[in-house]
Structure 1
Amino acid sequence: MTATQIASIRRFNRSWTEVTALLDDSYLHSGLTLPEARLVYEITQRSPQPVVELRGRLQLDPGYTTRLLDRLAERGLLTRTVDPDDRRRQLVAVTDAGREVAAQLASRADSQVAELLDPLGPADRGALVTALDTVVGLLFRESEPEVTIRTARIGELGWVLTRHAEIYEAEYGWPGFEAAVAAIVADLLGRSEQSRVWVAERAGRLVGSIAYVAEDAGTARLRLLLVEPAARGQRLGVRLVEECVAYARAAGHARLVLHTQDALTAARAIYAKTGFTLDRTSREDSLDPNGLAEHWVLELG
């Protein structure tokens, strides 16, 4: 890493600390310091829990942790008891008052973020979220929970459209792309008996999508492959394509086809890895005014 890169990250840290008032004595006007508020949050997520596990997860000094817990207990936000399964350990649990404070903090934090994003337009908000997801994916990938792939539920095609529009606007800026995706989504909704949409979910958050639609008895089309920036590099794109391929094969189709762009190198690599071959290129149906459309096919027989 270069000195310029290090300076850039440190500058962001200072700016974020300032804009979110993390150094205030009263975090979000709660009367708690930031470390105290974080402890309330962590204990609320799993109550009761061993103090030693809490301290280890947050990498806190034992004496410092004890002082923080003492102050929170004095305010009636938590209780401490001896672990009946191991009397050498202490358990900490949140009280009703502590849950109320945690809920207030969550609401105020949401409002703080909404106020921070309010001056930005939709495209800039999408670009910011994409960038932050990328940061999480690159720096904290090992701690991410498992990603599951499931059939999309009512309303989730709206997410598929929105994230396609936001991510492609941020990364490529192709004119008319959102309208093209909207037409695909409308077609899928209008042909629900001939189509299927899957989404990838991680910790309650959608991070990817793919769709299948039957064109005729012998041919099906793969559509709407998307992987959130934070979830890239983890074979999720391959898993989504394999899900679609397996479904098309089980449905008895002889081939699976798709339309993509020559600029989408990561997606093209996924298609090649799963057995697709490039059939032809064209310019007239390209979504990229400076690139080529590509038509790929996978023989399923």
Structure 2
Amino acid sequence: MSDDVAVLRAFNRRYTQHIGVLEDRFLGRGRPLAESRLLFEVGLDGSTVLELRERLSLDSGYVSRLLRSLEDTGLVTVAADPTDGRRRLVELTAAGTEEWEELDRRSDELAAGLLDPLGPTQRDRLREALGTAERLLRAATAEFVVVDPLSEEALTAMGRYLAEIADRGVGGGASLGAASDGAETMRRPDGVFVLVRSDGEVVGCGGVRPLGDGIGEVKRMWVSPAVRGTGMGRRLLDHLEAWVLRLGHDVVRLDTNGVLTQAITMYESAGYTPIERYNDNPHAERFYEKRLR
């Protein structure tokens, strides 16, 4: 067993013992952790069954059983979405809202009790360490999912990408276009568009489109600030390069703007070499190529 695996397992054992995971009545509320966690994830604003499944990485049968139990105790209601009959909405009842608030209060008390023996310096160290651990584990458990680049979820991710690079000065205040511009070129079977999901949230995206002559181009590559600094950008780039090969290309190209210095550093460290301009993108200033085989 490696040292890092041993440390993680030891932390898991100690943490789960002290937060009551092993008890059949989590936080003294008469139900196991799984039901309490699901109730908490439904939240005061409600959720859909699909969102709960994706956020908690649970199969549909298990989620259905947990929801039936919460329905039987009068804590939630499950009904068809009036705007989309294919979706099911989960909402807290009045009793469920009271229970949610009580769980939230007791969770705060439990966390405060664990921190009480620590001094200010120790608390600062623990907060920093746990924050780093949460971000790294979130990145480690992320999934790469192929979607239609013209789907609502994909366009939202690309919209976030465009908004962010505009905020950083790309375009000089001029419009960077719509998220849908050129999206059809990343559609299967000739191209691909990938979303990065973590805990049900999209934290990254990127696509590949063909340029001809055995060349594929990486486009709209973006990583959320929530997982930056965790190596997610390089993992996503590696994943897209694998797709370039899978789509039958030997060479990958990409363009970027000079203000995106972190991206440029990553591309160059990944083996990309500068080349002459190969497209008419008015917002691109740097052009790169990498031979994959």
Q: What TM bracket, shorter-length normalisation?
A: 0.5 to 0.7
The answer to whether the 8 A contact 1:221-1:258 is kept is yes
Determine whether 1:96 maps to 2:58: no
Quote how far apart the aligned CAs of 1:267 are: 0.9
**Partner SS for 2:239:** helix
Change (3 A) 1:102 1:137: farther
**In 2, distance between residues paired with 1:137 and 1:176?**
39
Quote how far apart the aligned CAs of 1:172 are: 2.8
- Counterpart of 1:163? 160
Determine whether 1:151 maps to 2:146: yes
Summarize the alignment of residues 1-301 of structure 1 with structure 2, pairs less than 5 Å apart. Answer: 52-54=18-20, 78-79=29-30, 96-99=73-76, 100-101=93-94, 104=97, 140-144=131-135, 145=138, 146-152=141-147, 154-172=151-169, 174=171, 175-179=173-177, 181-188=179-186, 191-280=187-276, 285-287=281-283, 293-301=285-293
Quote how far apart the aligned CAs of 1:200 are: 0.9
> For the pair shown, which has the larger CA radius of gyration, 1 or 2?
1
Change (3 A) 1:98 1:241: same
Change (3 A) 1:274 1:102: farther
Quote how far apart the aligned CAs of 1:141 are: 3.5
**In 2, distance between residues paired with 1:79 and 1:239?**
43
**In 2, distance between residues paired with 1:177 and 1:215?**
25
Structure 2 stretches lacking a partner, 5+ long = 1-15, 33-68, 77-92, 102-126
**In 2, distance between residues paired with 1:252 and 1:140?**
41
Quote how far apart the aligned CAs of 1:157 are: 1.8
* Matched-pair identity in %: 16
Q: 1:212 is matched by which residue type in structure 2?
A: V
**In 2, distance between residues paired with 1:187 and 1:202?**
26
**In 2, distance between residues paired with 1:282 and 1:217?**
13
Quote how far apart the aligned CAs of 1:155 are: 2.9
**In 2, distance between residues paired with 1:168 and 1:102?**
45
Change (3 A) 1:151 1:263: same
The answer to whether the 8 A contact 2:206-2:240 is kept is yes
Normalised to the residue count of structure 2, the TM-score between the two structures is: 0.53
Number of aligned residue pairs: give it.
190
- Counterpart of 2:111? none
